[in-house]
Amino acid sequence: MTALTLVAHQFRFDQKVFWRNPASVFFTVMFPVILLLIFATVFGDETVDVNGGIETTTYYVPAIITLSVISATMQTLAMSLVIAREDGRLKRGRGTPMPSWVFIAGRIGNSIVVALIMMALIATLGRVFYGVDIPWDRLPAIVVTLVIGAAAFCCLGIALTAAIPSQDAAAPIVNAMLLPLYFLSGVFIPSDQLPSGVIHFADAFPVRHFFEAFFNAYVPATGGGAGVEWGHLAIVAGWGLAGLLLAARYFRWTPRGG
């Protein structure tokens, strides 16, 4: 069996598990949709002073896609890997002839596919309910941005598992890191309303850079170029690489508790 067949095999089952798990479906799929509906309803008639002034709904569609991608990758991976580790399933899998990296590869594939599905879902809802145009001509830039971001946040999620001691600690630790960054990076609150000091602070972290890259790829008002923000993406990729190195050094397959 080729390596690709093995990964496809693992991926098929990881997909089943993802869609059957009520927690992952709610937090990764339903929660972003609910956020979009709430933000669009509450702030729907306003404009955001970004890129020469755009409607709030146009702002929130790429913002919520950004959140969905991070949730499908970093959050989903960190949680599901810690649960599998503490349940003993990672250790169990290591006793089989399957190369260890296939377990991780299957889950990364699962995360990236869910991220793409979420982008399609949020973009469609934005178009149907709020008339936010889907920038078809920039699709290559959008997909490149999403895949680089998704891969980087996958690496960060895998690295983060090393800092999570138990299943119960997984959700609090992941949320304690990401929720403040969503606020500070302009995902929840439009960035024209945030003090510049806050934005500078957020610039130190990958959420802000991924959001900027994705936003500028998605909202045509920025104009010019193919829409790929290589500068921001390089910083995101750098974080991903650091995550990969940390994961390679500190990731563990055996339960930490009990």
Partner 1 sequence: MADAVISIRGLRKAYGDFEAVRGIDLDVERGEVFAFLGPNGAGKTTTVEILEGYRKRSGGEVSVLGEDPQHAGREWRERVGSVLQSCRLDPYLTVRESLALFAGYYSRPRPVEEVIALVGLEDKVDARAGGLSGGQQRRLDVGMALIGDPELLFLDEPTTGFDPSARRAAWDVIAGLRDLGVTVFLTTHYMDEAQRLADRLAIISRGEVVARGTPEDLGDRESRPATISYRGSEGEVRVRTTTPTRTLHELTGRALEDGVDLEGLEVTRPSLEDIYLELTSEAAE
Distance CA 51, CA 85 (A): 45
In 3D space, the residue among 180, 245, 173, 176 whose CA is nearest the CA of residue 207 turns out to be: 180
Considering only residues 21 to 60 of the shown chain, the ones binding partner 1 according to CB under 8 A are 21
Please name the residue ranges forming H helices in the chain: 3-20, 22-24, 31-43, 56-70, 76-87, 89-94, 100-130, 139-160, 167-184, 196-202, 206-218, 230-250
Return the residue of 34, 44, 94, 131 that touches partner 1, per CB under 8 A: 94
Return the residue of 16, 127, 252, 256 that touches partner 1, per CB under 8 A: 16
Distance CA 220, CA 218 (A): 6
Size of the site for partner 1 (CB under 8 A): 24
Return the residue of 87, 133, 137, 192 that touches partner 1, per CB under 8 A: 87
Q: Pick the closer one to partner 1 by CB: 96 or 193.
A: 96
| 214 burial via Cβ count (<10 Å: 0-12, 13-18, 19+) | buried
Return the residue of 20, 176, 224, 249 that touches partner 1, per CB under 8 A: 20
Q: Is 171 in the site for partner 1 (CB under 8 A)?
A: no
Q: Is 4 in the site for partner 1 (CB under 8 A)?
A: no
Of 89-97, 107-115, 186-194, 201-209: span binding partner 1 (CB under 8 A): 89-97
Cα Dmax for the chain: 58
Backbone angles phi, psi at 48, to 5 degrees: -115, 135
In 3D space, the residue among 116, 120, 84 whose CA is nearest the CA of residue 10 turns out to be: 84
Q: Is 17 in the site for partner 1 (CB under 8 A)?
A: yes
Return the residue of 44, 53, 99, 231 that touches partner 1, per CB under 8 A: 99
Q: Is 76 in the site for partner 1 (CB under 8 A)?
A: no
Distance CA 173, CA 171 (A): 6
Return the residue of 44, 53, 88, 131 that touches partner 1, per CB under 8 A: 88
Binding interface with partner 1 (CB under 8 A) = 1, 6, 9-10, 13, 16-17, 20-21, 84, 87-89, 91-99, 254, 258
